Each structure stands twice: as C-alpha cells, then as structure tokens.
Amino acid sequence: MKIYIRSSSCISPQNTFGTENFFDDIVEYNGTRLKAIEPEYKEFIDPKLIRRMSHIIKIGVAAAKDCLNKGNTEMPGAIITGTALGCLEDTVSFLTHMVEQDEELLSPTAFIQSTHNTVAAQIALMLKCHEYNNTFVHKGISFESALLDAIMLLKENVANNILVGGTDELVDASYTVLTRLGLYKRWPVSNLSLFSTESKGTIGGEGAVFFLLTDKSSDDNLAELNAIKTFYKPKDIKASIISFLEENSIKIEDIDLVINGRNGDTRNDEVYKKLGLSIFEDSALANYKHLCGEYPTSSSFALWLAANIIKKGAVPDVVIEKGNNHLIPKKILVYNHYLNKYHSLMLVSAI
C-alpha cells in the first residue's frame, strides 16, 4: 500500500501559514526563543471559542482546520496528535493558582484544558468527528508515534483520510526551566547565523503542523510518505540508517536531499557532523531548526518542509547546508534526533 501526504499546514515562527510563499520572507530572531506567528484565527475557529483557548490549542486547531481545507476534506477518518509537553500554558496556569491561592477558589478552565489530548479533542469537537482519536506524548518521538499510528490505521483499512499532527508550545516557565537545564545558548544569537558559531546550546521553538494522510493516489497529493522509523539510544546510528534504507530497497545515492535536525548545539550536532563525513558525504544536506527552533515535535516541521520541497520542486536557499539550489529533489530523507536519545527517519518521495 502507498501512503500519501494529501495536504499539510504549518504554523511556525516563520511565515509558513496562509501563504503560498515558500521562505521568500524569512523572519529573523535575535535571542534564544522563537515564537509561532499567530494567524487570524476567526477564519478557522468559532470566535466565541477563541477567547477561551490557550496558545497551543489555537495553533493546533487552526493548523488542523487549514490542513483539512487544503485537502478538500471535511471529515477525517481519524485524528491523531503528538505533543511532548502538551498544554503547558494551562498546566502552568493551574499550578500557579493552586500554589498562590493555597488550593482555594480555583477555576476549572485551565485544568480542563491542561490534559495532553486537548488539541485532538478540540478538533474532534469542532468537526463533530466521532472517529478514532489518539494522542502520543513521548518526548522527541511524539509526532513520529502519531505518524506510525496513522500509517497502521491506513494499512488496517480503518480509514482513508487521517489527520495527524505535531504540536508543542514554549511558555515563559518552560523556556526558563529549559534555559536553566542548559538546552539553550547563554547569549542572544540570530537564528539565521545559528550554524556559524560553534557553541553549546540551541534556540527554543514551537509550532503546530498537521498532515492529511491518505491511501488514495491523486495528482494533488504533495508527496508519498514511504517509511518512518524511530530508534532509542541507537548503538550505531549509521548502521541503523543503512538498514532502514535497505529495508526500503534504496541506496543512499537515491536520496536527493537529507534534511537533518542540526540545532547549533555542538554536542547535538556532533552526530550529524560524523554522518556528514561518512554516509552523507556525497549527499545534499538541508537544515530547518534555525527556522522553527528546537522542540520535541519539530520533526513535523521537517516533514512539512520535505513534502513542500517535493511538491514545489525547489529547495529554498535558507535551508541549504550543502549542495546547490538548482536541485529538484524527488526523494528526501528526514533525519532528526532529540537530545541524542530519540532518533527518527522519515522517507518522502515525489508522487
């Protein structure tokens, strides 16, 4: 069975939403925190509901609705989301009130919306969609788990159109905590020169990216999703990548572009550097985390990028690490790792 990406929608710290532009208008950030650019929500969400929704719910629901619109689909056969940290704004809000008000006179709204499945639930509620609904919350492979679930559902012939997405938000508290944990650089940096200075730490990001997966072929489909695989603490990632390619009967030479998860942190990027000197030595390479920031479901941004590069037949200059911009990729490998614990591979090709 072939699985296609029928449509996709991406809300990110770049102008990726509601525009046909493909990085013609790049947003530069000076700091270590990239915030998702909020669209005009009322086109996608009932204005009465917008006020009550937190940031992640709004970007999630808007991206989901836009993705369905683009795929000319009113009702998906399943809704699946991946989020590592879930609804942080509401979680922090409820925790704060609980501590500050000594457990008295708390409002239920933040608690109700703090559960990790809120985005998937709100999409179902908005669409009145009674079909399969699930939420994965496993760190750097939350989105990949959701994607695997969607692929299995298609193979099981349970549904023909599946809405699957990755959402995570960065709030003040999590940004502060993650900075203290050493995830981010200690001084401001331009995201557009993230890879030019060798130092520890990366920049934080967030976003909501949704895909409509289908088993029906159509000229309108963006790309084919050939395969996905995740690894936990792989002993030899090079060998894992090689066997993944073998399982899919392709050679490294067949890959036109490798989108990798470099994030500007020397420790993190060591893994990509080594591979760039070995199996990816002759490959064209692209980066994306300078555009959306590092976050656990950022691979959803990478998949959106891959699908759009294939559909548009062009690689934006801003993502090129190595190779030339005249390339028209037919086959793209997305390789990301999160904190060198969770690694994932996604193979996408032209329809």
Partner 1 sequence: MSSSVYVAGIGVISAIGNNVPQHLASFEREEAGMCDISLFDTTHSKKLPVAEVKLDNKQLTAITGLPDDTSRTALLSLIAAKEALTDAAIPGFDTLRSGFVSANSVGGMDKSEAFFVDFLANNNKGKLRNIYDHECGSMTEIVADQLGISDYMTTISTACSSSANAIFYAARLIKNDVLDVVIAGGADALTKFTLNGFNTLMILDKELCRPFDEHRAGLNLGEGAGYLVLVSEKVANKLSKGLYCRLSGCHNNNDAYHQTASSPDGTGSYLAMKGALEKSGLVPSEIDYINLHGTGTPNNDSAEGTAIKRLFDPKCPPMSSTKSFTGHTLGASGGIEAVLSVMAIKHKIIYPNLRFETPMNDLGLVPETKFLKNQNIDHVMSNSFGFGGNCTSLIFSRI
The residue ranges that bind partner 1 (CB under 8 A) are: 79, 84-86, 94-96, 98-100, 102-104, 106-108, 111-118, 120-122, 124-125, 127-139, 141-142, 145, 148-149, 152, 155-156, 173, 176-177, 180-181, 230, 232-233
β partners of residue 5:
213, 223
Nearest to partner 1 of 111, 195 (CB atom): 111
For partner 1, the closer CB: 125 or 328: 125
Q: Are strands 285-287 and 320-322 parallel, antiparallel or unpaired?
A: antiparallel
CA distance 351 to 309: 13
Taking the complex as a whole, the smallest distance from the CB of residue 324 to partner 1 amounts, in Å, to: 38
Our CB check for partner 1 shows the closer of 22 and 132 to be 132
Q: What H or E segment, with its residue span, contains residue 242?
A: helix 237-247
> What residues have CB less than 8 Å from 229, skipping those under 6 apart?
244, 247, 344, 345
Residue 158: CB minimum distance to partner 1, A: 10
| Closer Cβ to partner 1, 119 or 212, answer by number | 119
Residue with smaller CB distance to partner 1, 2 or 139: 139
Tell me the one-letter amino acid at 270: E
User: Burial, 164: exposed, middle or buried (Cβ in 10 Å; 0-12, 13-18, 19+)?
Assistant: buried
Judge residue 57's burial from the number of C-beta atoms within 10 Å of its C-beta, 0-12 exposed, 13-18 middle, 19 or more buried: buried
- In whole angstroms, the minimum distance from the beta carbon of 118 to partner 1 comes to 6
In this structure, the chain runs to a length of 351
Name which of 85 and 285 has its Cβ closer to partner 1: 85
CB of 21 to partner 1, least distance (A): 35
Q: Under a CB-based contact definition with an 8 Å cutoff, are residues 337 and 343 in contact?
A: yes
Mind giving me the DSSP string for 141-206?
A: GHHHHHHHHHHHHHHTTS-SEEEEEEEE---HHHHHHHHHTT-B-SS-EEGGGTTTS-BS-B-B--
Task: Give least dist CB 130 to partner 1, A.
Answer: 5
Minimum CB distance to partner 1, residue 48 (Å): 14
Nearer to partner 1, 128 or 251 (CB): 128
What is the smallest separation between the CB atom of 338 and partner 1, expressed in angstroms? 10
User: How far is C-alpha 282 from the geometric centre of its chain's CA atoms?
Assistant: 26
Q: Measured from the CB atom, is 238 or 330 closer to partner 1?
A: 238
Q: What stretch of H or E contains 229? A: strand 223-232
CB of 232 to partner 1, least distance (A): 5
